[in-house]
Amino acid sequence: MRTRSAPFVAIVAGIAAVGLAFISSAGEQDTPTNEVPKRLSSAVFAGGCFWCVESDFDKVDGVVDTISGYTGGRIANPTYKQVSHENTGHYEAVKITYDPDVVSYDYLVTYFLHHVDPTDADGQFCDKGESYRTAIFVANPNERAIAEADIAAVDASGVLPTPVVTKVIGAETFWPAEDYHQDYYKKNPLKYRYYRASCGRDGRIKDLWGDSAAAH
């Protein structure tokens, strides 16, 4: 058998060492860090047309995602057609994912109340029916306490002509709406602006809340 020369063996060993160093370095780069993922929370609000509620909450610093959907009803995985027939018990609602280090649940509740008509028990603005009623869906006793306290504060302030009828309800399964409803105001800006204006949403909110609506 032919014996390898010393220089040849040294070259091979050097190449192998470089390869091992590269593999080790690549492995170090791929190793996950020990950083703790940012803690996010969620909240669910029903405020009439979910296109509008989604649009309003997307403007809030600390809100990282909004999803239009249905909740509070009697059947699983409802469709828009089923809910719009007003016989399933569902609310049009929006699930909001937010960073509690940036925005508090208390602020989100207050913001919500100032962007709906919480005195209307039959729906919202031009949309009437059970699916358009307002509600705050709470996931725990702390959220319930905050929501009820904020509603009580609004009633005590006397800023609204009649008491708040927005319900505080224990959270139920949230069913995302069809894809075409998600980010509707972005996908169909002209149709959305026409709908919002013709429905009288912003005018009614201004009449109800005055300058305090713009402050929230």
Cα distance between residue 166 and residue 148, in whole Å: 10
In the structure, what pLDDT confidence band is assigned to residue 60 with cuts at 50, 70 and 90? Answer: very high
CATH number for the domain harbouring residue 100? 3.30.1060.10
pLDDT tens-digit map of 188-208: 999 999 999 999 999 999 999
pLDDT in tens, 12-47: 444 444 444 444 444 444 444 455 567 999 999 999
- Nearest Cα neighbor of 47 from 204, 212, 159 is 204
In a domain, 33, yes or no: no
Mean pLDDT, rounded, for 114-126: 97
* pLDDT at site 21: 46
pLDDT at residue 171 tops 90: yes
Q: Give the residue from 64, 77, 159, 72 showing the smallest Cα distance to 110.
A: 159
Q: What percent of the chain has pLDDT over 70?
A: 81
Please report the pLDDT score of residue 13 as a whole number. Answer: 47
How far does Cα 202 stand from its chain's mean position? 21
Q: How far is residue 216's CA from residue 211's CA, in Å, rounded to a whole number?
A: 9
CB 96 within 8 A of CB 65: yes
Q: Does residue 36 belong to any structural domain of this protein?
A: no
In this predicted structure, what is the pLDDT of residue 159?
95
CA distances, 208 to each of 49, 115, 122 (Å): 18, 10, 16
Structural domain count, the chain: 1
pLDDT digits (tens, 9 = 90+) for 79-104: 999 999 999 999 999 999 999 999 99
Classify residue 191: in a domain, yes or no: yes
Residues carrying an active site annotation: 49
- Domain coverage including residue 61: 44-214
In a domain, 114, yes or no: yes
**pLDDT tens digit sequence for 132-154:** 999 999 999 999 999 999 999 99
Helix (H/G/I), strand (E/B), else coil: 16? helix
Question: What is the separation of C-alpha 98 from the centre of its chain, rounded to a whole number of angstroms?
Answer: 7
Q: Is the pLDDT of residue 157 over 80?
A: yes
Give the pLDDT confidence score for residue 38 in this predicted structure: 78
